[in-house]
Amino acid sequence: MDGKKASRSKGVKTLGSGESALPSQSRRKFLASGAAVAGATVATGAGLVAARAEKIAVPPSNQEMGRPIDPKAYGMPSKYEAHVTRNRTDVFVNKQNWSDWSMTPLHQQVGIITPNGLFYERHHAGVPDIDPATHNLVIHGMVKQPLKFSMSDLMRYPSVSKFHFMECSGNGLTDWKAPKSKTVQQTHGLLGCAQWTGIPLSWLLDRVGLADGAKWLLFEGADGAAHARSIPIEKALADTLLVYGQNGEMLRPENGYPLRAFIPGWEGNVSVKWLRRIKVSDKPWHLRSETARYTDPMPEGKWRQFSMVMECKSVITNPSGGMQLHGPGLYEIQGFAWSGNGTIKAVDVTLDGGRTWQEAKLEDPVLDRCLTRFRFLWNWDGGPAKIASRAVDSTGYVQPTVADLEKTRAITGFVQHHNAIFPWSIAPSGEVANAIA
């Protein structure tokens, strides 16, 4: 299954365009429960309970004077959303913060775009403080004319903006071993999606002129670790960007300010932050970050290098680990799907641990190498359940099970590129928990 196309399992119930995963009677019941009486629906967890109108008073208006807005201050979320934060892992807990990561709260993300202040980040030697007025990018090596670009030089080029996800290759690595992560933020939170603004790298490579035999690039950052990766020239010329903007504003320091590489669909560590130089060569560098790290253990003690594509994947974010369902009834299962090889074509949902599957509804927009939101209406009977999602991308690749992945991969140590189907268990009490074996 690893890196190969596959057909969807037999017995999958496939619904037509616009058809719901629930019978029309259940859909009517779900809608009626939410709109039986205007203003009389009370949310309990992920479910909806209709209340009697005569017992519901009209909420009082807030007639007190509100706080004034400082027009020069950076806008902040409501104080009632202060719990929505990036968090460090709850499994591999470092005693320092020099080399660490923090994770996106996917279960609290209400659309496909991740806010900049919640976008996951990974750093190897802390976050550098770089003055854009003095920062430069050098392109050298096997080029006809080595050049140095200031940030002012780069921003004089016409900009382009692209919507794409970015995912750390280690997303989910904590769940191959005990102890298991408890929430979707901890299992899948090394993931985010943004609008990236900058210029195509191909424009600058055309400026410097590639020498005959040029096949690889070295991207190196200006952080204390001088993090670097080898990138094949074909990918650099195809769609690699040099970005300085994220979601309509300049990059945050933790996400590469003032300049980073962005390589759509590939593992996040190749999109080198705080980019200071690009060196052109005829071969890769075989750095620590592509030998001892960011490689895949294979059978018989071998390791796979330069497996940068993030393959088709999905996860249910609501309900997910740490949440609580409040009694039987109708719930909407929600989640995200994504693929580094194209668009999402379908997402199936299982309610019985993979014995049967039903097709979820994809929410527009469905974009190339971007998070895609899916929804599925579920009438929970109050019994134990095991739910999971399975995505299919535009190449025909089907998200594998853990067992399928183990046939071609050695599941040991810090496993990278974990894109297997991920289950949540739901107890009769309504408690949702990590159910990966």
Does this model's pTM top 0.85?
Answer: yes
User: Do 334 and 375 meet the contact criterion of CB atoms below 8 Å apart?
Assistant: yes
What is the pLDDT, as a whole number, of residue 406? 83
**Which token pair is 228?**
């670097």
d(CA 388, CA 111): 20
What is the pLDDT, as a whole number, of residue 414? 63
Q: Does the structural domain 1-51+311-437 have CATH classification 2.60.40.650?
A: yes
Q: Quick one: which of 417, 315, 350 has its CA closest to 107?
A: 315
**Which token pair is 136?**
């430069």
**Which token pair is 155?**
């921003």
What is the pLDDT, as a whole number, of residue 48? 53
Q: Quick one: which of 432, 410, 190 has its CA closest to 304?
A: 410
d(CA 43, CA 317): 18
> Which residue, chain included where needed, has tokens 């309610």?
351
> For 61-120, what is each residue's pLDDT tens digit?
877 888 888 999 999 999 999 999 999 876 766 666 788 889 999 999 999 999 999 999
Q: Quick one: which of 97, 104, 90 has its CA closest to 371?
A: 104
**Which token pair is 227?**
């993090």
d(CA 133, CA 431): 52
**Which regions of the chain are under pLDDT 50?**
1-4, 6, 9-25, 34-46, 50-51
User: Do 86 and 105 meet the contact criterion of CB atoms below 8 Å apart?
Assistant: yes
- Domain extents for the chain? 1-51+311-437, 100-303
Neighbouring CB atoms inside 10 A of 120's CB total: 26
d(CA 28, CA 245): 44
Rounded to the nearest 5 degrees, what angle is found at the Cα of 235, between the Cα atoms of 411 and 409?
A: 10
> For 379-393, what is each residue's pLDDT tens digit?
999 999 999 999 999
* Antiparallel, parallel or unpaired: β 136-141 and 275-281: parallel
User: Do 354 and 321 meet the contact criterion of CB atoms below 8 Å apart?
Assistant: no
What spatial distance separates the first Cα and last Cα of the chain, rounded to whole Å? Answer: 19
d(CA 307, CA 296): 8
Fold entry, domain 100-303: Sulfite Oxidase; Chain A, domain 2 (3.90.420)
Alpha helices in 6-102 (DSSP H): 24-35
